[in-house]
Structure 1
Amino acid sequence: MGYLIRPVKADEWKRLKELRLAALADPVARVAFDETFEVAAGRPDELWQERARRSEEGDVALTFVGESEDGSWGGMVVVLFEEGEAVPQTQVVGAFVRPEHRGTGLARELFEAAIEWSWGLAEPVVERVRLWVHEENVRAEALYRSLGFVETGRTVVNPGNSGAVDREWAVRRA
C-alpha cells in the first residue's frame, strides 16, 4: 500500500480531530498519549483549527499524515520545534497508525518525514530529534532503534499512569 506523506492543511482540522480521537480511543495506542479521549473530545473547535493552521504554516509545529490512495488517513505524527532548550532540538509526539495500516511501513515513513523536516530547519540548526516512549511499548522501541534513535538514560513518570515510566530516545544529526 502506498502513502502520500504530507502536512495537514488548515482546512483539514475536522479530519485531524477525528484521527486524534481515533488514536485516543485505540486501546493499544492510547498508552502513548498524555491526553484522554474525553478531554480531547471536549476541546473546542478553535483548538483543532489552530493546530491545523500551525501545521500548514510549518515553522514550529508540523503534523504529517499518511494519506492512502483512496484519500483516507492511515496515521499521523506531530513534530515540534522546542525553543529554549540547551541543544536546538525537535520532539516527535502524537504518533499513531490506525490498526488496519499497521505493519505497512507507514509509521516509518511518518517518522522519516518528521526527522527530515527537523534536519531541514535553517535557524537554528536542529542538532537532535527526541521522543518519549512508554516502557512497555517495545514495538515502538524497535521502530525507533531502526531509525537511529538511542535511549538517552532520561526517564519521567508517565503522566497518565504514575506507576509507569516513559524513556527518552534521541537521534543526533550525523
Structure 2
Amino acid sequence: MVLEVVAIAVWAMLPAYVPNNVAVLAGGGRPIDGGRTWGGKRVLGDGKTWRGTAFGIAAGLALALALDAIAGDAGSTLGVDLPGFPITAALALPAGAMLGDVGASFLKRRTGRERGAAFPGVDQLDFVVGALGLTALAARDWFGDVFEPPVLLAVLVLTPVLHVGTNVIAYQLGFKDEPW
C-alpha cells in the first residue's frame, strides 16, 4: 500500500517537479516583471523570465504527455495502477508549478529577501501549492481521483526531501548559485 501511494504521488507530480529545474537551465532573457518595482522593491526580480517559464511549462507538458503514453505499461511493471494525464492536468501541473514559484518570488520580494535567499518551507512547497491548486481547478475530477488524502500526504512529505536533494545536486554541478 505504501509503495503504491508513493509511486502514484511521484508519478502524478513529475510534470510539476520538472518545470523549475528546466527554467533554471533555459532561463535568462526578459524578466516577467519587466524590471518594475512595487514599494521600492522589484516585483519578482531577474530570476523569473518569460523564457524560463515557457520552457519549464513546455517541459512539464511534454513529460506529462510521455507519461500518459506509458502509464499502463509502467503501472504493470510496478504493479501499481498509475494515472494517465488528461490534457487539462498535463498543462495545469507544470503551469501551476511555475505560477507557485512566481508567487513565492513575489512573497520573497515583499518580505525583503533577495534573489536566491532561503525562504524555508516556501522554497520547498511553493510550486506544489501552485500545481495542486491550478490542477484542482482545471482538472477537478482527475485531481479528486488521483490526489486522495494518502497521496496528498505523500506529496507533502516527499517533495521537500526531493527538492532539497535535487537542489544540492544542481548546486554541486554548478547549475545553481545556492543549495536551496
Considering fraction of residues, name the structure with more helix.
2
Question: Could you say which structure has the higher strand fraction?
Answer: 1
- Same topology, TM > 0.5: no
Tell me the TM-score normalized by structure 2: 0.26
Q: Larger RCO: Structure 1 or Structure 2 (Cα < 8 Å, ≥ 6 residues apart)? A: 2
Give the TM-score normalised by the residue count of structure 1.
Answer: 0.27
Larger Rg computed on CA atoms: 2
